[in-house]
Amino acid sequence: MVVALGFDNLVFSQFVCYSILLILETIGIALLVIRIRVKRKVFSFPEDCSQFIVGKHHLKPTADDAQIKRLRRCHLNNLENIVPFVTIGLFYVLTEPDPWTAALCFRSFLVTRIVHNIALIQALPQPTRTFSYLAGVIILCFMSLSVFQRGKM
Amino acid sequence: MVVALGFDNLVFSQFVCYSILLILETIGIALLVIRIRVKRKVFSFPEDCSQFIVGKHHLKPTADDAQIKRLRRCHLNNLENIVPFVTIGLFYVLTEPDPWTAALCFRSFLVTRIVHNIALIQALPQPTRTFSYLAGVIILCFMSLSVFQRGKM
Amino acid sequence: MVVALGFDNLVFSQFVCYSILLILETIGIALLVIRIRVKRKVFSFPEDCSQFIVGKHHLKPTADDAQIKRLRRCHLNNLENIVPFVTIGLFYVLTEPDPWTAALCFRSFLVTRIVHNIALIQALPQPTRTFSYLAGVIILCFMSLSVFQRGKM
């Protein structure tokens, strides 16, 4: 017998990989923020600034610049979408879905997030960003419905 | 034998439904923010504004108005509470709790979140919002204690 | 046979305890924010202020002061790190890792988060905060790699 939450279950195995890819992408954005902060010397806290001396003056904490604002918004938006995906996805795996449908859901969700992030960071013309966000929401709703058909309240 | 993380386990099945309801409610608030942004034409990014022309002028990105600030705070606060609920709740299900107690925990938590969200969005007089938040924290602490009794470090 | 996601599995049992400690610490910071808001009478919303009368005047909502800004940043940063830890950690447990290595990962991660939080709240000289953050990311990457070796896409 194949255990539902084990790597011998192909659907679970795929779910695990796509979840981790989403998370690593989000961590990558956080590291990018650190890199840009150091490069442009834009910091929020005095203790960060005191590491850097420009001319004879210490840096002062400044409000985030436009690029950092975009990246942080992107990071937060990813987090807001990873939590539902990981939670609903785990429950969805337990409903023993059709492997082909499940793989389609996981792959499409990853694609919508990548498109969303590129659209946000590169300031692509709307409605690219909104549509990719809504496509992700539709996938989440589809998985939720599949789970609700099995659940009891 | 009933598998702990399977839909034949009533406690797990209920946990799944209440978790998804919490998540869908949070996504609903995110969609509401998009709707209000479009309706009031309040956007954070230039590429959102360029879709809209008011008179002969393009819109400019503006700071969020009060209603959007409330909704985004509500969204973030939900996320902050869903993560502990889903995580601790999953562990709690694995402790094989009394089904009646477990259902009470899950239902009460959903109620505290709905009261909190209404209090925040409608600006109800305090301490409604704070008390509903604290009630949710107490439920989380109760479930944590039940789990700690089973766990080993 | 020991069930992978059961309290008889030592690795899972430890993972559960460290996850809950991380979550309770984060909730503790949220409660600290409420306490400081009431003590310093710094509120974001009018309905919070109307509970307090200073002299003959009602309070007005104010922007967060520096200490609250730090604590909220700390809370958000914890949330950003708990989501990957709980998700990747759960998958990592299912790979049946060496118990000693797994315990080292979980304990080190908790330590990096505590150091990070103290460094942020007490404004310790950099690069304490950045290094503790990066140490946490390295642990997450190590666990991800272990999972990827088992997963299939």
The residue among C110 and B34 whose pLDDT is bigger is: C110
**Residue of C130, C137, C148 lying closest to A20 (CB–CB):** C148
Residue A38: pLDDT over 90: no
**Chain C residue numbers touching B126 (CB-CB < 8 A):** 47-48, 50-51
- Taking CA–CA distances from C84, the nearest residue in chain B reads B83
> Does the beta-carbon distance from C126 to A51 stay under 8 Å?
yes
> Does the beta-carbon distance from C84 to A23 stay under 8 Å?
yes
How far is it, in rounded angstroms, from Cα B7 to Cα B120? 34
Which one-letter DSSP state was computed for residue B54?
E
**Chain B residue numbers touching A84 (CB-CB < 8 A):** 23, 26-27
**Chain B residue numbers touching A151 (CB-CB < 8 A):** 7, 13-14, 16-17, 20
- Taking CA–CA distances from C100, the nearest residue in chain B reads B153
Write down the mean pLDDT value for chain C: 84
Confidence band (pLDDT; 50, 70, 90) for A142? very high
Confidence band (pLDDT; 50, 70, 90) for C72? confident
Chain A neighbors (3+ CB pairs < 8 Å): B, C
Q: Find where tokens 């989000």 sit.
A: A26
Residue C140, token pair as written in the block:
């997450």
Confidence band (pLDDT; 50, 70, 90) for C148? confident
How far is it, in rounded angstroms, from Cα B34 to Cα B43? 9
- Measured CA to CA in angstroms, residue A4 lies from A94, A133, C94 at distances of 6, 30, 11
Chain segment B131-149, per-residue pLDDT in tens: 888 999 999 999 999 888 8
**Chain C residue numbers touching A19 (CB-CB < 8 A):** 87, 91
Label residue B122 exposed, middle or buried (CB < 10 Å: 0-12, 13-18, 19+).
Answer: exposed
Q: Can you give the length of chain A in residues?
A: 153
Chain segment B38-85, per-residue pLDDT in tens: 787 777 777 777 666 666 666 667 766 878 888 888 888 888 899 999
Which residues 6+ apart lie within 8 Å of B147 measured at CB?
Answer: B88, B91, B92, B95, C16, C20
Q: Which of A57-66, B124-133, C90-99, C112-121 has the lowest mean pLDDT?
A: A57-66
Write down the mean pLDDT value for chain B: 84
> Does the beta-carbon distance from C94 to A23 stay under 8 Å?
no
User: A57 has which bridge partners?
Assistant: A54
- Taking CA–CA distances from B106, the nearest residue in chain A reads A153
**Cβ atoms of residues A64 and A72 within 8 Å:** yes
| For residues A79-94, average pLDDT | 90
> Does the beta-carbon distance from A23 to C88 stay under 8 Å?
yes
Nearest-neighbour CA in chain A from C148: distance (Å): 7
Alpha helices in B7-127 (DSSP H): 10-40, 46-49, 66-94, 99-121
> Does the beta-carbon distance from B17 to A151 stay under 8 Å?
yes
> Does the beta-carbon distance from A140 to B34 stay under 8 Å?
no
Chain C neighbors (3+ CB pairs < 8 Å): A, B
Residue C134: pLDDT over 70: yes
| For residues A100-129, average pLDDT | 87
Chain segment B74-89, per-residue pLDDT in tens: 888 888 899 999 999 9
User: C58 has which bridge partners?
Assistant: C53
pLDDT in the model for residue A152: 67
What percentage of residues in chain A have a pLDDT greater than 70? 88
| Mutation for testing the B interface, residue in C5, C11, C22, C47 having most B CBs under 10 Å | C47
Residue A17: pLDDT over 70: yes
> Does the beta-carbon distance from B75 to A70 stay under 8 Å?
no
pLDDT in the model for residue A1: 56
**Cβ atoms of residues B77 and B116 within 8 Å:** yes
Which residues 6+ apart lie within 8 Å of C29 measured at CB?
Answer: C71, C74, C75, C78, C117
The residue among C52 and B109 whose pLDDT is bigger is: B109
Chain segment A51-70, per-residue pLDDT in tens: 666 666 666 677 668 788 88
Q: Which of A36-45, A51-60, A128-137, B12-21 has the lowest mean pLDDT?
A: A51-60
**Cβ atoms of residues B13 and A151 within 8 Å:** yes
**Chain A residue numbers touching C80 (CB-CB < 8 A):** 30, 75, 79
Write down the mean pLDDT value for chain A: 84
Residue C153: pLDDT over 70: no
What percentage of residues in chain B have a pLDDT greater than 90? 24
- Taking CA–CA distances from A6, the nearest residue in chain C reads C94
| For residues C133-142, average pLDDT | 91
Residue B100, token pair as written in the block:
């009646």
> Does the beta-carbon distance from C50 to B125 stay under 8 Å?
yes
> Does the beta-carbon distance from A7 to C94 stay under 8 Å?
yes
- Taking CA–CA distances from C6, the nearest residue in chain B reads B94
Q: How many CB pairs under 8 A join A and B?
A: 78
> Does the beta-carbon distance from B88 to C46 stay under 8 Å?
no
For every residue of chain C, DSSP letters joined together read: ---TTSTTSHHHHHHHHHHHHHHHHHHHHHHHHHHHHHHHT--SSHHHHTT-EETTEE----PPPHHHHHHHHHHHHHHHHHHHHHHHHHHHHHT---HHHHHHHHHHHHHHHHHHHHHHHTTPPTTHHHHHHHHHHHHHHHHHHHHHTT---
> Does the beta-carbon distance from A34 to C127 stay under 8 Å?
no
